[in-house]
Amino acid sequence: MINLKLKERFLKYIKFDTQSDDSSTTIPSTMKQKDLGKYLEEELKSIGLSESFMDEFGYVYGYLPSNCNSKQTIGLIAHMDTSDEASGKDVNPKVINNYDGSIIVLNEALGLKLDPKEFNYLNNQIGHELITTDGTTLLGADDKAGIAIIMTVIDELLHSNIEYPNIIVTFTPDEEIGRGTDAFNYEYYKEKNCSIAYTLDGGEPHIVNYENFNAASCVVEIIGKSIHPGSAKNKMINASLVAIEFNDLLPKYMVPSMTEGYEGFNHLVEISSSVSNAKLVYIIRNHDMNLFKEQKVLFGKACEYLNTKYGYEVCKITLKDSYYNMKELVLKNEFILANANDALRENGVTPEYDPIRGGTDGARLSFGGIITPNLGTGGQNFHGPFEYLDVDEASLMVNVVKTLVQKYK
């Protein structure tokens, strides 16, 4: 399965440093993402899309009208930015042809290697073409592999006899900092009558994601009573100690380090305190809506308990929902998953589901009216120097997506 254009594209895209920045307040968070955006807009034009543009926020949209008068429109989405957990500047990829199953030395000096004993999935990739980092940066397969797959799909559809529906292509900025849909052009999708899309932002080709966490945050503010410690008896209420008390009222085992799969958690992400004031910030996560609600109720109960105990409003909580599990929405339209599964099977892949222990742009889009499950790209070990791409798997996904779009014609 050789797809030279796919590989060339990927190697070109990862040369753009597109790291997003959580501390920035602009959209996109870093202007360098627009350099890749501009390039992608041009490439969409050069492969034959008459309609492609980048908006002021750095989102790139392209529209491919159906070649068979289909009334249906399907969206294909990938993100342009890379994680801030590792540098994405001066990426110096290494191409391994026909991987032989041995340890891959990424960087001798730094002692970084990909050992199949540690990274088990490599055992499935013998004979494949892999692209790794040189150990000093991330690779950017997350999510430039997704972009390369989508671009190649559009290119190949345009130069084939395959019948396809209307297709909207979208490349978004700032996914890694959770803002990938903040300036998403829902109107454009509505105009094109598009209410179904797929993100290409996962790992192994056989994994389809359509479940994510329900997510909320809780800020706990504690007001103590600060008195000179020498004369504090029966008077002082130390906010720091009340903060510890608050955390002690939450279930001990319900933390990220003790949970997996469908188990939810309350995660203390920030704490600051003095005798007079304390602030705790939690994120609350659960796939199950009822359990999610119960977790939030528990925060209210802990607060109430402390207020009653101390006889004044020692504690105040602010709960805010962030995003919800897209599962219900996806399952209401069963064909969206069925089509993905069939497309995988028709290309020799047995689909599996994996609940995402996080959120996705697709979840936000789904609640915004565009149901959007997530498909794999062939990338592994995202967000760090161990990241690599399996070119054969990415090629396979080009075929899967080509098969998939035909199901909507």
Q: Which residues are catalytic?
A: 81, 175
Q: Which stretch binds Zn ion (CB under 5 A): 142-150, 269-277, 325-333, 361-369?
A: 142-150
- 361 lies in the binding site for Zn ion (CB under 5 A): no
- 392 lies in the binding site for Zn ion (CB under 5 A): no
How many of the chain's residues bind Zn ion (CB under 5 A)? Answer: 3
Closer to Zn ion by CB, 129 or 201: give it: 201
Q: What's the Rg (C-alpha) of the chain?
A: 24
Closer to Zn ion by CB, 247 or 322: give it: 322
Q: Which stretch binds Zn ion (CB under 5 A): 31-39, 85-93, 200-208, 241-249?
A: 200-208
Closer to Zn ion by CB, 28 or 224: give it: 28
Give the type of residue at 46.
Answer: S
- 201 lies in the binding site for Zn ion (CB under 5 A): yes
Question: Could you give the string, one character per residue 100-139, with x where binding to Zn ion holds by CB under 5 A and - elsewhere?
Answer: ----------------------------------------
Q: Which of 41, 129, 142, 392 binds Zn ion (CB under 5 A)?
A: 142
Minimum Å gap between C-beta 150 and Zn ion is 13
Minimum Å gap between C-beta 176 and Zn ion is 7
Cβ(211)–Cβ(119) below 8 Å = no
Dihedral (CA of 309, 311, 315, 318) sign: positive
Minimum Å gap between C-beta 376 and Zn ion is 11
Dihedral (CA of 301, 303, 305, 307) sign: negative
Burial of 301 (0-12, 13-18, 19+ CB in 10 A): exposed
* Total residues found in the chain within this entry: 409
Closer to Zn ion by CB, 156 or 390: give it: 390
Angle of the 239-248 helix axis to the 289-310 helix axis, nearest 10: 140
Closer to Zn ion by CB, 172 or 406: give it: 172
Neighbours of 309 (CB within 10 A): 11
Going from the C-alpha of 289 to that of each of 265, 294, 303, the distances in angstroms are 13, 9, 22
Minimum Å gap between C-beta 18 and Zn ion is 12
Minimum Å gap between C-beta 180 and Zn ion is 9
Q: Which of 17, 41, 84, 143 binds Zn ion (CB under 5 A)?
A: 143
> Residues 324-349, buried b or exposed e (16+ Cβ, 10 A)?
bbbbebbeeeeebbebbbebbeebeb
User: CA torsion 379→355→76→197, rounded to 10°?
Assistant: 170
Binding site for Zn ion (CB under 5 A): 142-143, 201
